[in-house]
Amino acid sequence: MNKDNSNLLEKIVSLCKRRGFIFPGSEIYGGLRGTWDYGPLGSELKFNLKQSWWDYMVRERDNVFPMNASIMMNPRVWEASGHVASFTDPLIECKTCHERFRADKQEDIKEHEERHAKNKEKVEWTEPKQFNILVEAKLGVIEGEKTTVYLRGEITQGVHVNFKNIVDSMHPKIPFGVAQIGKAFRNEITPRNFIFRSREFEQMEMQTYVKPDEKEAMEMFEAMKNFRMKWYLDLGMNKKKLRFREHAPDERAHYARAAWDIEYETPWGWDEAEGIHHRGDWDLSRHSQFSGQDLSYFDQEAKERFIPWVIETSAGVERPLLYFLLDAYTEEGDRVVLKLHPKLAPYKAAVFPLLKNKPELVAKAQGIYKELKNNFTVAWDERGNIGKRYFAQDEIGTPCCITIDFQTLEDDTVTIRDRDTMKQERVRADELNEILKKMAD
Ligand code: GAP
């Protein structure tokens, strides 16, 4: 097996465009920096990734409540959360060409200086100034009287402002979790590395409310760290390319008492996949103070009232998605294989009639295809020779290909070819549902 990592990111970007995974946003108008559009296969992959997170974090656990809050919120939310004052990145500007960069991203700065050095220019930078990355929108129907609102910079606040609603409607017993998946927006100074740093992206978050007790909070923190790491491993990500990293105190977000990242070894070095944060009582206390509402919790068992603390797990969708693609990309001889976990693969199987000019084969294959489509996402391909069709499916990560040939017409068996081993087996057509189900689990 040859895993050639040179230009790996470029290869992924090209595959994503060519095979309908991810396109530059608004491409025919020259694009919009930091935005990406998910095509047919990318949408399936993204859906599967979110579904897997949802099953793992919500459906398979007790005492976890789902939420789906608005993207636009009352601007006071963001004053209370500290984002208006503190959701900033240090910005510097090149005095020669006026391009702007994040002062804490040495790699970008070095690259820019090297670019100027080629023209024998030495870069002079402005002093760093704090730049707020909340994205503003105007809401209202009268020009001049529109209200400025913020598109949420993290999906988190939609959960915390609903804390009282959840407690009053669901009567959860502490500790309990509230989970949400949704879009977030950041006016990133330098979007880069494909979908890694975008201006519009999705997050998958779990806010776990715990008693205000450092020992209990840290036990939950450790449990969550390990539980989140297991998700990547269960989905087949290479263990050697994953690690934890603790944030230094000066690196932590304004709300965090402790913060660890799960990192992946990307072609540009180790970088963040998701964060686990100890947010203490920051959010509920601030919203209590700013809204004037009582956001405490009454513990029936201990007969105590308190403001709970929060342990958060906050993953993007795009970063794990990119890492799963990087991890899965394999070159073997003259084929490219995306060795994605079957749960993530856009199609679970592809169905081929051996020859497209034999109506009886096509009709039989269509019957099998339609039957499988009731339960799985399945591709249909009748073009070109079988070898090319296999390779085309390998490149998009389809775990198996099912071929309907003349023997199928006689004994109702088909060949099923495994993406990774390329082994072919003959199985009964009526076993296919069960085989795919087992594989996807
Ligand atoms: N609620 C906490 C929070 O938002 P964060 O570390 O700022 O924490 C969490 O973001 C995750 O969101 C990151 O680990 C990353 O996966 C994703 N993320 C953040 N900014 C991003 C961006 N500009 N583009 C893509 N994903 C991003």
Reduce the DSSP state of residue 273 to 3 states and report it.
strand
Give this prediction's pTM. Answer: 0.96
The token pair that represents 431 in the structure block:
């076993």
Q: How far is CA 203 from the centre of its chain?
A: 7
8 Å CB contact between 408 and 396: no
The token pair that represents 401 in the structure block:
């290909």
pLDDT category, 4, cuts 50, 70, 90?
A: low
Q: How far apart, in whole angstroms, are the C-alpha atoms of residue 431 and residue 440? A: 14
pLDDT above 90: residue 82: yes
Query: Does residue 197 have its Cβ closer than 6 Å to ligand 1?
Result: yes
Give the rounded percent of residues in the chain with a pLDDT score beyond 90.
95
Instruction: Please state the φ and ψ torsions of residue 330, each to the nearest 5 degrees.
Output: -140, 135
Segment holding 316, helix H or strand E: strand 309-316
Atom of ligand 1 nearest to the CA of 203: 12
Query: Does residue 186 have its Cβ closer than 6 Å to ligand 1?
Result: yes
Atom of ligand 1 nearest to the CA of 199: 23
Angle at 68 between CA 62 and CA 72, to 5 degrees: 150
- Per DSSP, the residues of 38-67 read E-HHHHHHHHHHHHHHHIIIIITSSSEEEE
The protein residue whose alpha carbon is closest to atom 4 in ligand 1 is: 154
What is the per-residue pLDDT across 217-272, written as a single tens digit (0 to 9) for each? 999 999 999 999 999 999 999 999 999 999 999 899 999 999 999 999 999 999 99
Q: What is the pLDDT of residue 145?
A: 83
The protein residue whose alpha carbon is closest to atom 9 in ligand 1 is: 314
The residue among 288, 261, 305 whose CA lies nearest residue 81 is 288
pLDDT above 70: residue 280: yes
Atom of ligand 1 nearest to the CA of 198: 24
Query: Does residue 81 have its Cβ closer than 6 Å to ligand 1?
Result: no
pLDDT above 80: residue 378: yes
Q: What is the pLDDT of residue 238?
A: 98
The reply to whether CATH 3.40.50.1100 applies to domain 347-440 is no
The protein residue whose alpha carbon is closest to atom 13 in ligand 1 is: 274
Over residues 17-29, the mean pLDDT reads 98
All structural domains of the chain with their residue ranges: 3-69+154-327, 347-440
What is the per-residue pLDDT across 325-377, written as a single tens digit (0 to 9) for each? 999 999 999 999 999 999 999 999 999 999 999 999 999 999 999 999 999 99
pLDDT category, 440, cuts 50, 70, 90?
A: confident
What is the per-residue pLDDT across 198-209, written as a single tens digit (0 to 9) for each? 999 999 999 999
Provide CB contacts within 8 A for 149, sequence distance 6+: 72, 73, 74, 75, 136, 137, 138, 139
- Per DSSP, the residues of 149-196 read EEE-SSTHHHHHTTHHHHHHHH-PPSSEEEEEEEEEE---SS-BTTTT
For ligand 1, pick from 50, 81, 193, 319 the residue to mutate: most ligand atoms within 8 Å of CB: 319
The residue among 94, 181, 175, 189 whose CA lies nearest residue 132 is 189
Provide CB contacts within 8 A for 105, sequence distance 6+: 190
pLDDT above 60: residue 405: yes
What is the per-residue pLDDT across 44-69, written as a single tens digit (0 to 9) for each? 999 999 999 999 999 999 999 999 99
pLDDT category, 143, cuts 50, 70, 90?
A: confident
Contacts within 8 Å (CB) and 24+ apart, 386-392? 386/352, 386/354, 389/350, 389/352, 390/417, 390/422, 391/334, 391/335, 391/336
CA 324, 329, 330, 336 torsion: positive or negative? positive
The protein residue whose alpha carbon is closest to atom 17 in ligand 1 is: 316
The residue length of the chain stands at: 441
In our burial notation (b when 16+ CB lie closer than 10 A, e otherwise), range 222-240 reads eebbeebbebbeebbbeee
pLDDT above 70: residue 1: no
Give the rounded percent of residues in the chain with a pLDDT score beyond 70.
99
Atom of ligand 1 nearest to the CA of 314: 9
Query: Does residue 53 have its Cβ closer than 6 Å to ligand 1?
Result: no
Q: What is the pLDDT of residue 6?
A: 74
Q: How far apart, in whole angstroms, are the C-alpha atoms of residue 254 and residue 256? A: 6
Provide CB contacts within 8 A for 222, sequence distance 6+: none
Q: What is the pLDDT of residue 95?
A: 94
pLDDT category, 2, cuts 50, 70, 90?
A: very low
Query: Does residue 320 have its Cβ closer than 6 Å to ligand 1?
Result: no
The token pair that represents 438 in the structure block:
């087992």
The protein residue whose alpha carbon is closest to atom 18 in ligand 1 is: 316
- Across all residues in the chain, what is the average pLDDT? 96
The reply to whether CATH 3.30.930.10 applies to domain 3-69+154-327 is yes
What is the per-residue pLDDT across 102-121, written as a single tens digit (0 to 9) for each? 999 888 899 999 999 999 99
